[in-house]
Structure 1
């Protein structure tokens, strides 16, 4: 059998997987979990990468991670290495992290600072706008450097969040409206004047959708997250159908204080993909620390009230976030394989806050380190059970798990549309 025969088998099986995946998603019960292949089949994982992670807007990081010219971060979207760098004019640009000479990765560190981007293989050199500055005389007199700049990836920012899209044409949607709303809701935090305090990365042996599903409900919280429930109220948002009247009354009293300070808080959704809502924490607590007391002595931006609760920001397919008065926490999920995902958590504080004086990194991360590890175990056990031949799709609670239903509705509809 020739190499071309092997390629044809691969392409044929992928085409068959596309047809099967489309059929499974069209026929699925919307209030039930997905069929097993959508959680563990390598062909369907590849389709997820091509139809979701190579076509949709993805959260990658915060603008304050790259505050000055030449600061960069890198990220791997499947087999696609991407470089995000700040230019001299303050703009943030995303490029495919692959040299236009022989394709080598240019930046091989997670983050750094450079005057220019120099490929370590043959020293081709690019400026932070992606223009090729140097390729050596070996390329000959007819070589046109202007035609060999770095390939760009679409990049947009809103409220200090950085999003990229690897598609040639980004999807048409209400994404720009979401970014404008992010600008408004994040204004009090002054993200440009924050800094990364601490970061964690966890490799979970679970499909990325199981990681997101687990996040989209707190049905499991009472049995799994004692540290988190010291401060977190289990209601998903102000529209949660389970929320009792005493919670709604508590929210109203908190909202009055937020209004007095000009702090945005009202629920704002953009379909099932994006949502922003400010939720109070338990009475008597300020932020998500183990005892609910301050995480950093310096408040963020123009904030004066430590009792801001948590502004929850959802962005599908790969991020959820908690914005609080003295620090904020962002979460990013990136698929690695059909049954492995990378979960990154980052904690940010005021840029003038001094470690060991104004904040303790271990205290900041204590609650979510515990919670993330607990969720890792839950997702991995979920994956192991789904791998069984005995697994079949099971029903979701329309009250406790409505967030999971919303996520899978978005996922299923998006894949079907992108497969057309």
Structure 2
């Protein structure tokens, strides 16, 4: 990997092993997924004490649970007895966390409460569930598996003003979906970071969304450029932040942009939910597009928010989960219909799955070699790859010069 990182062309896609090699995938897990802050899911997925959901990061299972004190925590889903999973399944609710193997019982804050027949010298206080770093910002839960987590405050301070008006702390999960894609996780992220492919593949999405997101882009239609400027003035008057912000390493991004057509990402552009998020009154707030690498992108609209989470399952296997969030007081069948709200992104996600899988199949060919990025429309992909390769180059030991082999002189025995 060190050799390939040192010799690759910066404006080209990655060499083949980065996308399909098992050892490279393991380095990804150790250097990216076990060291950085990751999006776990929306906090409203655990709305009350005892609600939990699980996620797999590499070979580590995590459980996200809301405690009796209202705090959301992340624990390694590993019993302190003999290591069994404590919470089995995708999600649930329990008064206490009970390991199904030998019934060791934990409080919702991770403390061990009960372990039968362990003898008089056993100290339960020494066997609490192990915690991962966990932070909540704007109604989203982020975790980090590193022993010492990197800074999170800069990201939190950047995105909180954009998220706050949508009040996702007081939202609920209206519906969700999970796809397993036969493609490397980086291909899934790369596909998300460009709309070069949108015209030929996403007819539902382009009913409302523009391929372009800047008035500086010469390809932007004049009418849409005028709409961006008009909405920016309107949002300034409402006190809503909208200007694009990026972290110095391009890992985090947030911007509010109008839709090209309509007020919400639906088939007809009309809001999918009658009751808007939080205390919002304006239905036409475009979408807050928020990125946090390596595994999350979002669209926060006036009527509903859409959150996406990517998790690597193997060198050529990736899980993509999508949540649709609405005001917690909105009533299904009255204020919204899940199938209508999901229609655009359910179609888009499946189209992206096919694209990523076809991309993976082509990369696996003996004919594959890295190709050039478009400098005008694939800059988002290049930003991601620059961040990824920078992370790996920092952590992978530099290639060592070959050590010359000294000749061995054999002497015949007497």
Q: TM-score range by the shorter chain?
A: over 0.9
Matched, 1:74 2:54: yes
Query: Which of 376, 379, 383 matches 2:356?
Result: 379
The CA deviation string for residues 22-55 of structure 1, in whole angstroms up to 9 with x for no partner, is 2212221111000000000011011111111111
Does residue 150 (structure 1) correspond to residue 121 (structure 2)? The answer is no
Partners of 1:241 and 1:375 in 2: CA distance: 26
Once residues 7 and 222 of structure 2 are traced to their aligned partners in structure 1, the CA distance between those partners, rounded to angstroms, is 38
Q: Which consecutive unaligned segments of at least 5 residues does structure 2 have? A: 398-414
Provide the secondary structure at the position in 2 that maps to 1:139. Answer: coil
Equivalent of residue 208 in structure 1, options 185, 192, 200:
185
1:35 is aligned to 2:12: no
Query: Is 1:63 aligned with 2:29?
Result: no
The equivalent residue for 1:354 is 331
Instruction: Tell me the distance in 2 between the aligned counterparts of 1:257 and 1:104.
Output: 55
| CA apart distance, 1:263 | 1.9
TM-score (norm 1): 0.92
1:399-418 CA deviation, whole Å, 9 max, x = no partner? 11000000000000011213
Answering whether residue 168 of structure 2 is matched by residue 225 of structure 1, we say no
CA offsets 1:197-236 (integer angstroms, 9 cap, x no match): 1111111110000000000000010000000000001114
Give 1:237 shift: 4.8
Please show how residues 235-254 of structure 1 align to structure 2 within 5 Å.
235-237=212-214, 242-243=219-220, 246-254=223-231
The yes-or-no answer on 1:296 pairing with 2:280 is no
Q: What is the aligned partner in structure 1 of residue 372 from structure 2? A: 395
> Do the aligned residues in 2 keep the contact of 1:217 with 1:236 (CA within 8 Å)?
no
**Which of the numbers 321, 341, 344 marks the counterpart of 2:298?**
321
5+ unaligned residues in a row in structure 1: which ranges?
1-20
Alignment check: 8 A CA contact 2:138 2:169 kept: no
State the alpha-carbon separation in 2 of the partners of residues 363 and 257 from structure 1.
29
| Structure 1 CA distance for aligned equivalents of residues 218 and 369 of structure 2 | 28
Partner of 1:9: none
Residues 98 and 150, structure 1, Cα contact 8 Å, conserved in 2: yes
Aligned partners of 2:132 and 2:143 also within 8 Å: yes
Whichever of the two has the greater Rg, that structure is 2
Query: Number of paired residues?
Result: 396
Of residues 5, 28, 31 in structure 2, which corresponds to 1:48?
A: 28
Question: What secondary structure sits across from 1:363 in the alignment?
Answer: helix
Name the SS for the 2:310 alignment partner.
strand
User: TM-score of the superposition, structure 2-length normalised?
Assistant: 0.93
RMSD over aligned CA atoms reads 1.3
Q: Offset at 1:157?
A: 1.3
Q: Pick the structure with more helix per residue.
A: 1
SS in 1 for 2:240: coil
User: Runs (4+) of structure 1 moved beyond 3 Å?
Assistant: 236-248
